[in-house]
Amino acid sequence: AQKITQTQPGMFVQEKEAVTLDCTYDTSDPSYGLFWYKQPSSGEMIFLIYQGSYDQQNATEGRYSLNFQKARKSANLVISASQLGDSAMYFCAMREVIASGGSYIPTFGRGTSLIVHP
Amino acid sequence: GAGVSQSPSNKVTEKGKDVELRCDPISGHTALYWYRQSLGQGLEFLIYFQGNSAPDKSGLPSDRFSAERTGGSVSTLTIQRTQQEDSAVYLCASTSRTGTEAFFGQGTRLTVV
């Protein structure tokens, strides 16, 4: 079963508008972290934002915010005031605390391709 | 070093040959991961090293794949008898013991012809 589901293979947004990229996750572990990464065409993975399962507030980093709805197991990324440079693949990831040895292995979704139109 | 370094950045090899991919993590990071990303796909976990603990090899797709980490730092991913389906970008990431995000290298693009 997929642990991270990103249902939008592609999204389009007009420059300066906001866009929401969806992510749902599946875990029975009470302690976990959620991440979003950006992968431009150059291929590097750029960390954007992190949300811990016990964090009370939704995480924000500049134009990025994470709409964390724990009961619904969703962690959507909101990008405000889109810029042309935001065009990239976006990956949602989850890291659980695995009981044996306390290891942390981030699991990634399939990604969403975002294209920002001028 | 300042970031995670991977070499080579590109590798073209003939089917059936062995290849070695290298990852030099951020200094002081105890955790190191290898992932594989096929064209247009997400990241597939391969193997995880944490300090001196036994590695988690649960993601390795076959016994042709192996990895080691020497001195708790540099890691080498070896693929024996490469097949065309091994063509992908191989990404390495590291994180500190209590860190949150994983820092990724630029990846090695492997093409098996």
User: pLDDT band for position B96 (50/70/90)?
Assistant: confident
Which residue in B56, B100, B102 is closest to A103 by CB distance? B56
Predicted confidence (pLDDT) per residue in B4-14, tens digit: 999 999 999 99
How does the average pLDDT of chain B come out, rounded? Answer: 92
The yes-or-no verdict on residue A71 having pLDDT over 60 is yes
User: pLDDT band for position A100 (50/70/90)?
Assistant: very low
Distance to chain A for B7, nearest Cα, Å: 14
**Chain A residues near residue B50 by CB distance under 8 angstroms:** 101, 103
User: pLDDT band for position B2 (50/70/90)?
Assistant: confident
Predicted confidence (pLDDT) per residue in B71-92, tens digit: 878 999 999 999 999 999 999 9
Residue B1 pLDDT: 53
Average pLDDT over residues A89-100: 81
Which residue in A33, A50, A91 is closest to B42 by CB distance? A91
Quickly count: other Cβ atoms within 10 Å of residue B81's Cβ. 11
Hey, is the C-beta of A99 within 8 angstroms of any chain B C-beta? no
Residue B53 pLDDT: 83
Predicted confidence (pLDDT) per residue in A21-63, tens digit: 999 999 888 888 999 999 999 888 999 999 999 998 999 999 9
Residue of chain A nearest B59, judged by CA positions = A105
Nearest alpha carbon to residue B42 among A56, A111, A114: A111
**Chain A residues near residue B93 by CB distance under 8 angstroms:** 45, 106
Q: What is d(CA B33, CA B25) in angstroms, rounded to the nearest whole number?
A: 10
Hey, is the C-beta of A110 within 8 angstroms of any chain B C-beta? yes
